[in-house]
Structure 1
């Protein structure tokens, strides 16, 4: 009888854990404290379904968190060449990995098949490339802050690696993302706590810069968009991920265990899991969203978890 009671208790506990994992906008640990260094950043889901995160065992590495086995363990994927340190990561439609290299003042390209590392783009005017966004046509956009002076730049990088300085004299440019339809670019400034929106034309040029919103406190870091166009913004120091509508309305803030989130990425089997890197924990937290990441393509809008909410509202 005691053995039966133990089995029943274990079954109930497992069911509760599964239910917790499926709750929307409730964060839990994906990989625990200290697995990554304090430089943890740049999460991105690869074509193999694994999550890739920079600065695994030490600075200058990229870690891989395999998908599908439920273990949520991390392993070394690649060591970058001497003098290179990754930050933001993005994958293109062909599965190639692009890495913002802030110490080498460049954007790197990694072939996942043989893990070879090459310089994809470089310009001597680059400060510290921080994060990347990739448009549907494969064009890259890069934020480029200069922390020592509190300013930053914005770059466009063509598929062949040619670089174009789009804007200088900005604040500390950090999180960057393209809208699901590829027609708008979003850029945030960490110290100034502003989020800007630009129009993107057919040639990848940006124009029509306007302010989307300003936060009253704490810093801004990496951000990603869901399929409805909502932005998920890491609020460094606040311990939250803010979900912001395309109109600049803060729809909700997802509370985290850590206080210093650095970046976010969508992934999981259905594209609705949000992964958050935490500097103060060297860990990755995760929560479920009602919507898939914008990279996962258009799909019918799911039922909102908030009764009566408009489509696209978490």
Structure 2
């Protein structure tokens, strides 16, 4: 019996060491070339399926199984083209529609698409962050002028401009305790932090980190509050602590990393959209994602 226990422990240790050696190593999830060069999103439902925008042609949303099988989930109506996707309930996700100035609401079961908020004064809704109460924050860049804004959209569709006169706002995320909103500026290479007030407004803007090279696109928090930032053009994911320290970078196979989400059975599998390779890549992380943990409450 003692020998059997020793063997089992040794096997468990070997499995753990093997798993640790294989974290932060990128591999393909989908075939190269299945998406357009506007491949973006992505977000994961409670069953582990990944949803990403613009498969085969712009204006579509793909459903990707955890083993990489792709299919067109739906085509957005009225000339809409999606960018960021976020789940807000078990069977509901939201889409930033940058051509029609909308935040769209999609029913996972019926595939019905409705407009949560239409804001003509939005430049181009880009990416979304969501709180557990359903409040959506939206980045809104003006690429031509290298400026940007931040909007809030409530579950009843009321939109409020929270911050203006920023740089090209792009990636946006909420901290695990929902007290901080992070927003990056792609052209200016800044990541900003704001305190979220109980009323859902933003205050106490401060610089979290500034990069000297490369762009930025989407970003997500893990459950420990670390930011996973897609460095568009550099082909890496930079992992930044809540204190603004660069603690890890993950080398991807492609260069144009556009967005990231967490999924898998334990929430520690990262899925990354690559615009140059027009596919999704994946790697394992140490911590589960914030949004993945939030989705567990919907079960």
TM-score, normalised by the number of residues in structure 2:
0.90
User: For residue 250 of structure 1, what is the aligned residue in structure 2?
Assistant: 246
Cα distance per residue 1:218-253 (max 9 Å; x no partner) = 100000000000000000011100000000000011
2:267–2:293 CA contact under 8 A, matched in 1? no
Spell out the pairing of 1:96-175 with structure 2 (5 A cutoff): 96-175=92-171
- For residues 32-71 of structure 1, the aligned pairs below 5 Å read 32-67=31-66, 70=67
1:49 is displaced (CA, Å) by 1.6
Residues 1-16 of structure 1 mapped to structure 2, 5 A cutoff: none
Give ranges in structure 2 of 5+ residues lacking alignment. 1-17, 295-299
Does residue 198 of structure 1 match 2:194? yes
Which stretch has the larger CA shift, 233-242 or 20-29?
A: 20-29
Matched residue, 2:12: none
Partner of 2:25 in structure 1?
26
Is the contact made by 1:21 and 1:288 (CA closer than 8 Å) also made in structure 2? no
Shift of 1:168: 1.1
Residue 148 of structure 1: how far off its partner (Å): 1.1
Partner SS for 1:297:
helix
8 Å contact kept, 2:32–2:277 = yes
Q: Please state how far the C-alpha of 1:156 moved relative to its aligned partner.
A: 0.5
CA distance in 2, matches of 1:231, 1:267: 15
Please report how far the alpha carbon of residue 126 of structure 1 lies from its aligned counterpart in structure 2 after TM superposition. 0.5
Does the aligned pair in 2 maintain the 1:198–1:210 contact within 8 Å? Answer: yes
Q: Does the Cα contact within 8 Å between 2:181 and 2:195 map onto a contact in 1?
A: yes
Q: CA deviation at 1:21?
A: 10
CA separation in 2, counterparts of 1:277 and 1:190?
17
Q: 2:261 maps to what in 1?
A: 265
Instruction: State how far apart, in whole Å, the 2-side matches of 1:213 and 1:91 are.
Output: 27
Q: Provide the secondary structure at the position in 2 that maps to 1:221.
A: coil
In the TM superposition, what whole-angstrom CA distance separates every residue of 1:57-91 from its partner, at most 9, and x where no partner exists?
10000000023xx3x11100000013100000000
Structure 1 residue 20, shift from structure 2 partner: 7.9
Moved more, 221-230 or 45-54: 45-54
Q: Which residue of 2 aligns with 1:309?
A: none
Q: How far apart, CA to CA, are the structure 2 residues paired with 1:64 and 1:88?
A: 14
Structure 1 contact 220–236 (Cα < 8 Å) conserved: yes
Describe the superposition over 1:268-304 as per-residue Cα deviations: whole angstroms up to 9, x where unpaired: 1110000110000001111100000012339xxxxxx
Deviation at 1:22, TM superposition (A): 7.4
CA positional deviation for 1:210: 0.5
Contact 2:45 2:90 in 1 (8 A): no
Provide, for residues 96-147 of structure 1, a one-character-per-residue CA deviation record: whole Å limited to 9, x for no partner.
1100000011100000111011110111210100000001211000000011
1:149-190 Cα shifts (integer Å, max 9, x gaps): 111110011111100000111100000000000000000000
Aligned in 2, Cα 1:243/1:279: closer, same or farther, shift over 3 Å?
same
Equivalent-residue separation in structure 1 for 2:159 and 2:168 (angstroms): 20
Q: Distance in 1 between matches of 2:204 and 2:197?
A: 11
Which residue number corresponds to residue 180 of structure 2?
Answer: 184
Q: How far apart are the structure 2 equivalents of 1:95 and 1:152?
A: 31
| Alignment partner, residue 221 of structure 1 | 217
